[in-house]
Amino acid sequence: MPDDQLHSQPKSESGAAPGPFRVAAIQTVSGPDVAANLSRAGDLIAEAAAGGARLVALPEYFGIMGMKDTDKVAAREGDRDGPIQRFLAETAKRHGLWVLGGSVPLESPVEGKVYNASLLYDDRGERVVRYDKIHLFGLDLGTEKFTEARTITPGRDVKTVSSPFGRLGLSICYDVRFPELYRAMGAVDIIFVPSAFTATTGRAHWEPLLRARAIENLAWVIAPAQGGNHPNGRETHGHSMIVDPWGTVIAERAREPGVVMAEIDPTFQARMRTSLPALQHRTLAGA
């Protein structure tokens, strides 16, 4: 369940507000070869770590974007067991940083389906939270069709977690269109939106949706994305970005694999929430 307690600024384990810290959003153009995808992701995480990042996020489907939808079902892993999860744990521990695996295909009780799960690991390589994607993408533009519900079992639970960086809220891709999910998180300091937006919907909606979620929640948004032309013929929008609590895009990468870095200053967020205390002005039931 989400923690609805309002946080004026992140707290460290000692209770004091942390100073500025660096974060990274990794952009990939993943294909059907899991080992190759993980190798490339590992190189990019190492680059982020060398640049001083303490919190790194990978995009949705970073471990596999198959030639067909069912490929991710074939590559599914048991909860806490599998090469993608081992990679995340070992990489986080090796570099001494927190790593979000944007999404990993995990076993579902429904035959022929998986959970699309976002997994967060701490700097010791321990998993601290799992979030299963709740909203499943569907699109029919005639020549362009997607129906995630055919191969994915939806999650049900909103997930937030405390960290040295403040309260973190987890979401995946299509979730960003549903502001009630983020309201259900309570006051979070950082929101993750790992994604694989299509080029079509991304051009129209990606940036305004991310900026809206940042503004509404006076929260930082870290949005790592798939960005380019994939072996399966799909084109993803890219434009991995980091957005500040005022809705300003402070770092972005248009296309192709790479690292998007930014510095987060918790005192900036604290000032914004003091100057514009919108989170304390909620009045509607369930808000």
Share of the chain above pLDDT 70, in %: 93
Cα 249 to Cα 242: distance, rounded to the nearest angstrom: 6
Identify whether the C-beta of residue 165 lies closer than 8 Å to the C-beta of residue 18.
Answer: yes
Residue 5 has pLDDT above 70, yes or no: no
The pLDDT, as a whole number, for residue 17 is 58
Signed CA dihedral, 76, 169, 259, 67: sign only: positive
Tell me what the mean pLDDT of segment 197-217 comes to: 98
Q: Name the one residue in this structure whose structure tokens are 């004091």.
A: 16
Q: What is the mean pLDDT of the chain?
A: 93
Going from N- to C-terminal start, the domains of the chain cover 21-280
Identify whether the C-beta of residue 242 lies closer than 8 Å to the C-beta of residue 250.
Answer: yes
Give me the residues paired with residue 115 across strands: 106
Tell me what the mean pLDDT of segment 259-281 comes to: 96
Tell me what the mean pLDDT of segment 66-95 comes to: 98
The pLDDT, as a whole number, for residue 285 is 66
Which residues fall within 8 angstroms of residue 11, CB to CB, at 6 or more apart?
17, 18, 166
pLDDT band at 139 (very low <50, low <70, confident <90, very high): very high
HSE-up of residue 190 (Cα within 13 Å, Cβ side): 28
- Which residue intervals of 116-265 are DSSP H helices? 179-184, 199-201, 207-217
Identify whether the C-beta of residue 106 lies closer than 8 Å to the C-beta of residue 79.
Answer: yes
Residue 160 has pLDDT above 60, yes or no: yes
Tell me what the mean pLDDT of segment 74-92 comes to: 98
Share of the chain above pLDDT 90, in %: 91
Tell me what the mean pLDDT of segment 194-208 comes to: 98
Residue 227 has pLDDT above 90, yes or no: yes
Read off the pTM. Answer: 0.93
The pLDDT, as a whole number, for residue 143 is 87
Q: Which one is predicted more confidently, 238 or 5?
A: 238
- CA torsion 250→254→255→257, rounded to 10°? -10
Predicted confidence (pLDDT) per residue in 91-120, tens digit: 999 999 999 999 999 999 999 999 999 999
Return the beta strands (E) in the chain as ranges: 21-27, 53-57, 98-107, 114-121, 127-132, 138-140, 145-147, 160-163, 166-170, 190-192, 220-223, 240-243, 249-253, 258-264
Predicted confidence (pLDDT) per residue in 56-74, tens digit: 999 999 999 999 999 999 9
Which CATH number is associated with domain 21-280? 3.60.110.10
Tell me what the mean pLDDT of segment 110-137 comes to: 98
Residue 16 has pLDDT above 90, yes or no: no
Cα 9 to Cα 218: distance, rounded to the nearest angstrom: 11
pLDDT band at 284 (very low <50, low <70, confident <90, very high): confident
Identify whether the C-beta of residue 261 lies closer than 8 Å to the C-beta of residue 24.
Answer: yes
Q: Name the one residue in this structure whose structure tokens are 């979070």.
A: 188
Tell me what the mean pLDDT of segment 49-61 comes to: 98
Of residues 241, 74, 245, the one with CA closest to residue 151: 74
Residue 13 has pLDDT above 80, yes or no: no
Residue 43 has pLDDT above 50, yes or no: yes
Task: Give the residue numbers marked as catalytic.
Answer: 60, 133, 173
